[in-house]
Amino acid sequence: MRVILLLTCVLLSEIMSYFVIMCYFVYLPDAIVYKERGVRRVSPRTGKIFYTPAVSESLKPRVGMVFDSIDQAYGFYVKYAHASGFSVRKNTSYNNTNGVLKLKYFTCSKEGFKIPNKGTGKRRKPSKRVGCEAHIKLQLTVDGKFEVYIFQEEHNHSFVHEEDLQFLRSVRRVDHAKENAIQALSTINLGPVRAFNVLKSLYGSYEEVGATRTDFKNYKRDLNQYIGENDVDMVIKRLAKKKQYCPNFSFEYEVNQDGTLGGVFWADEISKINYMVFSDVVGYDMVFVPFTGIDNHNRNVTLGAALLGSETADSYRWLLRMYVKAFGVAPKVVVTDQDPAMKRAILDVLPDSRHRLCMRHIWEKLTPKLLCHYCLGPVLCNTTDFKKTLAKIVWSDSISRNEFEEKWHAILSEYCLSNHEWLGSLYNIRHDWIPAYYLEENLSGLMRTTSRSESENHFFNQFCNPHSTLVEFFSHFETAIEAQRYEHRKNDHETRYNEDELWFPDFVLEEQALKLFTRTIFLDQQLEIYDAINKCVSVSRQQVDGCMKFEIEDILQPCTSYFEVMFRNEDQTISCSCRRFEQWGLICRHIFYVLRLCYVTEFPKKYVAKRWRREAVPNSSLRPIRYDDIENNGDDIQEILREIRFANEYTINRLVQDKEQLCLYRDYLKAYMSKADDVQVVAPAPSRRDRFAKMTGTSEPCDVIVRNPIKTRTKGTHKRLKSNREIAITRAGKKQKGCSFCKGTGHNVRTCSLRIQSTKEKEATSSSGVTNMQE
């Protein structure tokens, strides 16, 4: 009985579903049929159908109507076309002997016929042209205005429905506001498609944007075409203009013999101020070269930047000379990778600077280099503590030179690597990368690798992309620098107005450190004070040469030896064998322990490095000057637009909770919109090329001074060549792709020799069979 009831229910549900579907299809045609727009007329002689727009008489052109300009006439005809449901295209123009426009035709976009492209290999597109003869013709009058002398109203096609007006070409427009939005979003590395999606979200729908995604991409394409081969020349002229406008702005460039750009270097006033404080250690990368330092918040700071057309020693020499010329002082330490051209340039131009090699670049090569050492490579890397043991002496900041050399030889001897050629070469240049040989260098621990530079490159990559032009790149660079300096000001603000909790109120040096250092550095010093109180113990104390010598046991340190702290109370001179202050510019826990033990109540001023202080960089009101500010100097339109946007946003935020007042504000704006349509603009609308010139900051030059450099493959973008043995070892642990024909590995069906041979045999057999039949 239950089965029968279940089957009955299923049958009834199927019948109801069928009934619903039938009802849907019965009533669906009435829901999707569009009502024709305009007045339809059928020719009694030919039977052709014509359509006349049904619009208000105030929107309809008339013969004898006069306009002040062609742009005004075109705007009126476009408004009429939009209300009617068709698109407009600018057509024929006639000029008199003096080059003055005499006649102008505006036609329906479906005027004429498309020329077929059969056999040309081009992509076939549907034609929109049907030979429509609707048009308007204007002629120049004696008083310099334009009069309508012909108006053809009828069309030979139906009109677009109101819901589809957004797709008409003359209705779609990337106007001034959208161009600014595309350019503004481009500075944060958002392309035209993403800019279109952002505007869609802001406007609420695709229809409200007023353009399509393709229009945005075409605008970007036209802008890049405008820049074209003048890319470098535009950038050089913009930088020269900024140097003229800003006396403290440094800018130098080099031109090769063939007229192409060899390199360009620039640094603004704020970069120079930062350099005077944070130039202890500088790292840089290639071919885009951001000179990177460390600010008083232990964050990256850009001290200057450059672009190089090549990566030769001569290019680096020129760059370093321009660097020293701009800042006046060479950096104390320069950290780079093992590029030999860069090394030669630093030796020639910066002989007094200490050149340090990136430790991480060297360390990452250890495993690949050992893989080539017979069969020991996989065993050493996977089953022994070789790398861990070697890392303890390579990365250590506490061992001496003699201790390092002794342990280095002992480790190589233990693992039978004493005759390894590559490890021997690293030992020969140990003075350039091992921390034990930099213990005497001030602040040597700040930058041991180029990871700061690589982090800086990653930061700039968030704002730039390799496909942008140089003109765009400089706009992106400015945006990135503004973001970096904004973060610095934010860190300054948090340091000044956020008070951190004191862990040891009875230890006065902690409170003084809070007022002396930035917040990031204070948190480091606070941890050292905590470890000094809780993790350090004085083992012995004795008088040596007028100083008190303390032996401090550090529970956190794995070494068995004690740390020696020398303290002279007369001049507050103190030093520790761990040499943390010499390497980092910060007092260690052992010194804090001794200062507390000796009841020192004032933080030793000589051990407060200026680079870590709160006021290391003056809190001035210097504002970075953008290229746009220079280009718009004396032109307050952009400032007026910013004020309008601010006033509109302010009003909305104040009235958002009051619907009645918000409606009144909306009605006021709409009333002014209709008033704006009646405003007669005396100046002609700028052309797209004029807008491009304003957007890029320079007009298209007629004489190119500097040509674009020839694109070359940069160093480091490709992996090194591997030996066959190394390739075989790498592939050993990977699953090999198989051939579907012979079921073998190491190749696929397209390159299978058995399949190729079989195919050739079949072709030979079939060709011989055909020959026999012909005979």
Same structural domain, 594 and 511 = yes
Given 388, 406, 432, which residue is the final one in a domain?
432
Residue 242 forms part of a structural domain: no
Same structural domain, 525 and 417 = no
DSSP 286-336: SSEEEEEEE-TTS-EEEEEEEEES--SHHHHHHHHHHHHHHHSS--SEEEE
HEC states along 55-103?
CCCCCCCCCCCEECCHHHHHHHHHHHHHHHCCCEEEEEEEECCCCCEEE
Same structural domain, 644 and 749 = no
pTM of the model: 0.72
Per-residue pLDDT at 774: 46
Residue 44 forms part of a structural domain: no
Same structural domain, 546 and 651 = no
By CB neighbour count within 10 A (0-12 exposed, 13-18 middle, 19+ buried), where does 572 fall?
middle
Same structural domain, 542 and 599 = yes
Residue 604 forms part of a structural domain: yes
Residue 156 forms part of a structural domain: yes
Pick from 235, 387, 218: nearest CA to 309: 235
Pick from 320, 362, 319: nearest CA to 337: 362
Q: What whole-number distance in Å separates Cα of residue 584 and Cα of residue 582?
A: 6
List of long-range contacts for 410-415, beta carbons under 8 Å, 24+ apart: 411/386, 415/376, 415/380, 415/384, 415/386
Task: Determine the distance from the C-alpha atom of residue 350 to the mean position of all C-alpha atoms in its chain, rounded to a whole number.
Answer: 32
Provide φ and ψ at 226, rounded to 5°: -65, -40
Same structural domain, 25 and 83 = no
Residue 313 forms part of a structural domain: no
Same structural domain, 96 and 141 = yes
Q: Which two tokens stand for residue 517?
A: 């250092």
Categorise residue 298: left if φ over 0, alpha if ψ from -120 to 50, beta otherwise.
Answer: left
Coil vs helix vs strand at 425: helix
Same structural domain, 22 and 111 = no
Q: What whole-number distance in Å separates Cα of residue 96 and Cα of residue 102?
A: 6
Same structural domain, 600 and 641 = no
> Residues near 504 by Cβ (< 8 Å), separated by ≥ 6?
510, 529, 530, 533
Same structural domain, 665 and 735 = no
Which residue carries 């024709």 as its tokens?
36
Q: What whole-number distance in Å separates Cα of residue 579 and Cα of residue 37?
A: 87
Same structural domain, 133 and 64 = yes
What single letter denotes the amino acid at residue 708? Answer: N
Parallel, antiparallel, or unpaired for β 333-336 and 354-357?
Answer: parallel
As for how many domains the chain has, the answer is 6
- Segment 552-595, tens digit of pLDDT: 998 877 666 788 999 998 888 999 988 888 888 899 999 999 99
Per-residue pLDDT at 273: 85
Residue 770 forms part of a structural domain: no
Residue 487 forms part of a structural domain: no
Same structural domain, 511 and 573 = yes
Residue 623 forms part of a structural domain: no
Given 432, 462, 479, which residue is the final one in a domain?
432
List of long-range contacts for 488-493, beta carbons under 8 Å, 24+ apart: 488/295, 488/297, 488/299, 488/301, 488/617, 491/297, 491/299, 491/518, 491/519, 491/520, 492/297, 492/518, 492/614, 492/619
| Cβ atoms < 10 Å from Cβ of 195 | 22
Per-residue pLDDT at 676: 76
Q: Which residues of the chain have pLDDT under 50?
A: 2-3, 7, 10, 20-21, 24-31, 374-375, 621, 633-634, 682, 717-718, 770-775
DSSP conformation class of 656: T
Print the domain residue range for 11.
1-33
Pick from 238, 208, 220: nearest CA to 179: 220
Provide φ and ψ at 63, rounded to 5°: -65, 130
